[in-house]
Amino acid sequence: MQLDIDIRKTLRSGKREFHLDVRLQCSNQRTVIVGPSGAGKSLMLKAIAGLLRPDSGHIRLDGQVLFDAEAGIDLPPQARGVAYVFQDYALFPHLSVRQNIAFALARGWLNPRQHGQHGRDASVEYWLDAFQLGHLAHQFPSELSGGQRQRTALARALVAKPRALLLDEPFAAVDPTLRVAMRSELDELQQRLQVPMVLITHDPEDATVFGAHVLSMHQGRIEAESGMTEICYN
């Protein structure tokens, strides 16, 4: 994954102002960004996914321009080919696990049916199996545990075959005992699939486990862990 970010965004809420000023270049499969809450990590991730429009700068992924303020390019989230796993997973509450996972496969104005063409798609079956969700396929998100929700969210994201996986505090919503198991699960999954991933977290422990390329972020700015921004390795 070649990720090249250089963006600025000013957000105002009442009299408070927040400046996001991110410069980041990396070419490794795993990037972890650590920072306290309110550092702007989610904003940066949203900008990559196209959910937040920066005021200026550019974002490039694998040579493709996703956003360029000067050139007037701003690809909609639909055209960016990235996957976003939200902090609380944002599973569709009105759809079953199977329908959630098959969501991206149905392109029309109707949701995939539980037993319809998209619900029985081979890749849906594959992910249901891979994440041990087969027996939960007909359950709704409200009936799942934290770990099952996260696996459903990951499966839903991976079915779309994204170029990069953006993970927003993936372990914040689960209890500490489960967290350790889920970290190694995601670690193993990422190595097996070789999906490039950008993970943001406030928990330094996450960085130690995933540790390939760790950056820290404070008050809207990226600071390299080692004091150098250019370090990238696999």
Partner 1 sequence: MEHAWPALALSLKVAGWSTAINLVLGVGVGFLLARWRFPGRDLLDTLLTLPMVMPPTVLGYYLLVLIGRRGALGAWLHEQFGINLIFTWQGAVIAASVVAFPLVFKPARAAFEAVDGQLEQAARVLGISEPAVFFRVTLPLAWRGILAGVLLAFARALGEFGATLMVAGNIPGKTQTLSIAMYEAVQAGQDDTANILVLITSVVCITVLLTAGRLAPGRIANQ
CB 217 within 8 A of CB 210: no
Structural contact between residues 66 and 49, judged by C-beta atoms closer than 8 angstroms: no
Instruction: Please state, in angstroms and rounded to a whole number, the distance separating the CA atoms of residues 88 and 71.
Output: 35
User: Contact positions toward partner 1, by CB under 8 A?
Assistant: 49-51, 76-84, 86, 88, 90, 92-94, 103-104, 107-111, 140-142, 156-157, 160
Q: Which is nearer to partner 1, 108 or 176 (CB)?
A: 108
Smaller CB distance to partner 1: residue 111 or 219? Answer: 111
Instruction: Kindly report the number of other CB atoms within 10 A of residue 126's CB atom.
Output: 14
Report, in Å, the least distance between residue 151 CB and partner 1: 16
* 78/234 with CB nearer partner 1: 78
Could you tell me the smallest distance in angstroms from the CB atom of residue 207 to partner 1? 24
Given the complex with partner 1, which of 78 and 194 has the nearer CB atom? 78
Burial 29-40 (b: 16+ CB within 10 A, else e): bbbbbbbeeebb
In the complex, least distance from residue 5 CB atom to partner 1, rounded to whole angstroms: 17
Within 10 angstroms of residue 230's Cβ, the number of other Cβ atoms is: 8
Which one, 93 or 227, has the nearer CB to partner 1?
93
Query: Does residue 57 contact residue 81 with C-beta atoms inside 8 Å?
Result: no
Give 73's strand partners: 68
Output the smallest distance, CB 227 to partner 1, in A: 33
Min separation Cβ 77 and partner 1, Å: 4
